[in-house]
Structure formats: structure tokens, C-alpha cells
Amino acid sequence: MSSGPRHYYKSGWIEKKGKGHFGGKVGPITPIRNKKRWFQLRHYVMYYFEEEQSGYNSWGYPVDHQEDLDDEMKDTSLLDKIPGLPDIKFPPLPNLPSLGDLPSMPSMPSMPSLSAPSLSMPSLSMPSLGSLKMPSMPKKKETIKGGPIGRIQMHGAKIKRDGKKLTLTNCSQIKIFKDDIEQNEGVNFNLECETEEEAISWYESMAYGGAEKQE
């Protein structure tokens, strides 16, 4: 069997572009926010780190090859087992229901009765300047030293390739902090690989993990 671009496990450096503006519809004006990150694809999910991590590359297969998975690959409980990562509870990966298991649509609730509000103006009094308190700045969350800073779920995401560039859209992202996680939906990632060959490999591997290809 000849080798190919598609990997079950894959890792390497990719340049992560700035988020841009207007929800990612307009790219970043300057490259200041572009940063290289070490990406680690674990089939269904992809972690990214500030520092290089050891290993984690499986054999590459042709795109149309049916791969024989060992028991470790089939065990999804190992996806979030990373050395040094605290015991953080991640949201479960979605199970796709069959058409017969889809829930029925709920009935529409009855509309509440509407009454016109009172038009009387409240009395206004200006507070004294001495009683005003400036809000304190929120404390920046601490990341895990040497650990992952985020996780991207492949299922539900869409992947597009243009040369060395990859665009991941509609992602379910989890930002990972020392004592907490922050979940975000509909996140877009603009990535650039070092070579077009590497971009093809990442594109095929992410699609293998559940991302939807966009031509």
C-alpha cells in the first residue's frame, strides 16, 4: 500500500491568521496578530499549542483507502488525554441521530396578554461624583504552561483549501485555561501551511475527521 495525504493523527506547525473584522468577513488589516501554532489533529478534534509537542503522526493513506483502526484509535475517551492537562470536563462529542430518532417539533406556546405600560416619567437625580466607582478590569485567564490553548471540533466545521491556505468555518471551539474552559460556536480560522503539499494533507485529514469539504 502506497502512502497518501490523509492521516488519522497529524501534527505540525501552521500559521494561524488574525481573526479579522465583522465576524471574519474582512481579513486582518495587518499581520501583527498572525501567530504560528502547533496543531495536533486527533481525528475528531484538533488541539493547538504555543509550543511544539512530541510525535502524534499516524501513517498517511490515499484518500480512498479504507483504514483498519486499532483499539486505541476507536477509543474516543483518549481524545482528551494529554500529558500535563488538568482533569477538565469537556463537552461530549455529538452523536448523529438517525432520521427516525429526530425529535418532534414542540407546540407553539400561547401568546401572553399585552398591556400598555405606564407613561409616567421616573424622577431623575444625578449621583454625586464621589459615589461613582469605576468598574475593575477583569482578570486575564491563565493558560496552561506548555499545554493546549484551544480545541476545534471537526464535526460541524467546514474546510476549504486554496493553495497553501486553509479556511475552517462554523467551528465549535473550546479555549482552554488553567482552571476553566470557554466554549464558542461558529468560529472561523484562517490558516496557512508551509507548503501546498502540507495544506492538501491537512485538508484531507480534517475532512476525514468530520469536517465538510468546501470547493
One DSSP character per residue, 122-144 reads: PP--PPPGGG--PPPPPPPPPPP
Cβ-Cβ contacts under 8 Å for 99 (sequence gap 6 or more): none
Helices assigned H by DSSP within 61-195: 71-74
118 pLDDT band, cuts 50/70/90, is: low
In this prediction, residues 74-89 reach a mean pLDDT of 66
- Name the strand (E) or helix (H) holding 146: none
Q: Which residues of 100-111 are buried (b: 16+ CB within 10 A; e: fewer)?
A: eeeeeeeeeeee
pLDDT in tens, 66-75: 888 877 777 7
Query: Lowest mean pLDDT: which of 30-34, 130-134, 141-145, 171-175?
Result: 130-134
In this prediction, residues 160-171 reach a mean pLDDT of 97
pTM surpassing 0.75?
no
pLDDT at position 106 is: 43
pLDDT at position 158 is: 97
